[in-house]
Amino acid sequence: MKKQTNKNKFNPVKNMKHGDGATRFLWIFGILFILVVGRALMLGGGVTGGVPTRPVQLSFSDVLRRADDIETMDIRGRNASGTLKDGTKYTATIDYDPQLLERFSTAGATVSIDDSKGVMDHILMWFPLAFGLLFIWWIFRGLRGPSGGMGRSLMNQNPTKITTGKPKTTFRDVAGIDSEKQELSEIVDFLKNKDKYKELGARVPRGVLLSGEPGTGKTLLARAIAGEANVPFFATSGSDFSGIIVGLGVAKIKEIFEMAKRNAPCILFIDEIDAIGQRRSAHSFNDQDREQTLNQLLIEMDGFANDTGIIVIGATNRPDMLDSALLRPGRFDRQVYIDLPDMSGRRAILSLYAQRMKISPDVNLNDLARGTTGFSGADLENLLNESALHAVRNGRAEISPIDVEEARDKIIMGPRKLRKMRPEDIKLTAYHEAGHAFVSVIYSDVTDPIHKATIIPRGRALGMVQHLPIDDKVSMTLAEVRAQLSVALAGRASEQVFFGSDKITTGAESDIATATRLARYSITTAGLSERVGLPAVTQVSQFGTRGALENPSDKTAEMVDAEIRAWLDAAYKDAVKLLTKNRATVERLAQELLERETLTGEEIQEIVSGKKQGAKKTTKKAPTKKETKSNAKKSN
């Protein structure tokens, strides 16, 4: 058999790739360091006749006491060693003192002082310096090396995470924002028929800013524009242009625009553009790198090079934070605000997502769209997804109305709480929600129809009364405002009517906050108060979305607070009067809630009107119904 050679033996130096000088030097330096340290340690102890000798360790006091017995003393720093007159070797730690050395010499000892540096001293002195020089050499080697060095190496890591390609998403995949699609369809026409606009002398828009609430479809709309125009699409985010190395953001801006120019005409999408486009100020000298990145973006969007064929689409939730130079014509020529979908938009979005799922014909998407006021497109998609998950957990082959109802309650109020409540708390919650439901029915001509009332705990809420709007309201009359205030405070009023003033609870916290916000808005912004009048005295909100039009004086602020208190007191008295006058009806409503936990809007209407009180319709049961039902009976 042929003998195998040793060519494949591992050699940590020879087996390195050519050009990896830093790694090779580290290996060599490490090996030499180990050899030198080992040699120094071996030289640290002496041998006599092949047998190691162990010197006697003397303390400083022993050295002073036995000064006459010392034959020789070799001093190196604070360490002393030598032999006694009887031939015994010793070591000691002493305090260097010329008078002490003179005393030893007078006693007849031979004293020698070694000021030279040993091997370990040299290692400890030169090793940090050598390591620092090695690191500096590696840095300069990377910066000046081939292919752009370390700067190019960092660029090749592509921290901007650029997404490229031609999206298959089109306007057919976007629903519920028809007016915004119409506004942006012209951008598609610009990309497809660029010449006809040039003939008229029109300039193609260089940028479009999409703003709006989270989840309204800004990113989806940008992909749909690229898909409709059938042009390359480059997507990145504003935070990817920031880094720990100064100047890297500017380099990345140049790189992505150069890439886009090579593929023009194309669309460059920058999500969360406020990360690099924040407004500059005189006090932002500590963030020069971000400002340099913004300056480079401004130059690329509208600098000396015109007609690059690149349309920049930016998306942000905070357009108020962007620099004014970024928003001027020639950069972001169009600013499109994507609002939350209205009822017809929600119906279209639900229909679009419903095509991808197995939904029972019993699910009424119109009612679902009515009951999801304030939901964004992402919220509606999540609603149907939660419905599908609930259907799978319960072993159903398709999404049923029960699954949709459960998913909506979970999103609005939170998940079910499997908590064991005291019987008196359950009873009080039932009367609280019965007060809300009854006053809602009384004012049904000016308020949204009631959808259901429940005392099943969810999230932080022990119960809830839900309304189902007929359509999206853009304004409210004074009568509607006063009715809403009475409905909101009816829960606390019911506690007082049926349990007494000393039995009211903290459960009306959210109701009181809602009523206070509505009253303050109506008085300070909408001008619905005769006492305060028409001047707007709005306070500045958290993000400046509704700024103060006039700074109120102390007298005006006191008058506003007094008027809010008067509105809330009037609404509370109105709710107490209605509940007291119809005490028996409200009590029947509360007893039905205690027994059945959830009542639909139709069932509440029948109980209030006194029709079919004995008929019990089938309602959705909670997992803890038996326990809650037994606790409710105990409270009675």
The dihedral formed by the CA atoms of 365, 367, 370 and 376, expressed in degrees to the nearest 10: -30
Cite the DSSP H helix spans in 91-177.
98-106, 119-144, 149-156
**Cα 569 to Cα 518: distance, rounded to the nearest angstrom:** 14
**Cα 451 to Cα 601: distance, rounded to the nearest angstrom:** 5
**Cα 526 to Cα 567: distance, rounded to the nearest angstrom:** 15
pLDDT at 126: 72
How far, CA to CA in Å, does 254 sit from each of 241, 248, 331?
11, 10, 16
pLDDT at 189: 83
What's the pLDDT tens digit per position in 95-141?
767 777 777 777 777 777 776 666 666 666 777 777 777 777 766 65
**Cα 210 to Cα 281: distance, rounded to the nearest angstrom:** 24
Catalytic residue among 433, 592, 597, 603: 433
Cα angle 627, 467, 367 (rounded to 5 degrees) comes to 100
Strand order from edge to edge, sheet including 110-113: 56-58, 89-93, 79-83, 72-76, 110-113
Q: Is the dihedral of CA 134, 140, 144, 150 positive or negative?
A: positive
Segments in the chain below pLDDT 50 = 1-19, 22, 43-52, 143-160, 540-549, 612-636
pLDDT at 149: 46
Q: How many CB atoms lie within 10 A of CB 449?
A: 15
pLDDT at 333: 85
Write the DSSP string, 172-239: GG--S-HHHHHHHHHHHHHHH-HHHHHHTTPPPP-EEEEEESTTSSHHHHHHHHHHHHT--EEEEEGG
- Residue 402: enclosing H or E segment and its boundaries? helix 401-413
- Model confidence, pTM: 0.65
Strand order from edge to edge, sheet including 233-237: 233-237, 266-271, 310-316, 207-212, 334-338
pLDDT at 79: 80
- Collapsing DSSP to helix, strand or coil, 74 comes out as strand
Rounded to the nearest 10 degrees, the angle between the axes of helix 554-581 and helix 583-596 is 80
Contact 559, 412 (CB under 8 A): no
pLDDT at 163: 57
* Structural domains of the chain, ranges and CATH numbers in brackets: 171-338 (3.40.50.300), 343-413 (1.10.8.60), 423-635 (1.20.58.760)
pLDDT at 471: 75
Both tokens assigned to 73: 């003393």
**Cα 123 to Cα 481: distance, rounded to the nearest angstrom:** 84
pLDDT at 304: 58
Beta bridge partners of 73: 111
**Cα 609 to Cα 594: distance, rounded to the nearest angstrom:** 19
Contact 435, 491 (CB under 8 A): yes
Q: How many CB atoms lie within 10 A of CB 499?
A: 16
- Say whether 595 is catalytic: no
